[in-house]
């Protein structure tokens, strides 16, 4: 059986922006032709510790659209923290393609 290819994130842009009360807002733009389902959002620190931000579905970003979700993270994102999530039917979490994130 052919290996299932992970979701192509080359047309996905994410950024963390300042929200209210020192919290962050995750903005995800989908420039691809299919929808993007985001689930199991978590942080991974350089020491290997993980913290779950959404146990299940975070939301969908339709083709050509942008969505935003408040996340329980301080802003700016610390330099030793990576945001990870599962995309569509991927079995493994992957780093979000963060752009223009101030660290």
Q: What is the mean pLDDT of each run of 10 residues along the chain (103 residues)?
A: 82 94 92 96 96 95 97 90 96 89 47
Residue 102 tokens, joined: 């101030």
d(CA 10, CA 23): 27
* pLDDT tens-place string over residues 19-45: 988 889 999 999 999 999 999 999 999
pLDDT of residue 2: 65
- Residue owning tokens 């020192």: 22
| CB of 60 closer than 8 Å to CB of 67 | yes
d(CA 34, CA 97): 17
């Amino acid at each position: 059986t052919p290996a299932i290819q992970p979701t192509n994130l080359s047309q996905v842009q994410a950024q963390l922006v300042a929200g209210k009360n020192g919290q962050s807002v995750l903005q995800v733009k989908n420039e691809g032709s299919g929808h993007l389902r985001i689930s199991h959002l978590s942080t991974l620190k350089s020491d290997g510790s993980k913290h779950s931000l959404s146990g299940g579905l975070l939301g969908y970003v339709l083709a050509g659209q942008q969505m935003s979700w408040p996340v329980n993270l301080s802003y700016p994102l610390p330099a030793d923290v990576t945001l990870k999530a599962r995309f569509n039917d991927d079995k493994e979490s992957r780093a979000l393609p963060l752009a223009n994130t101030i660290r």
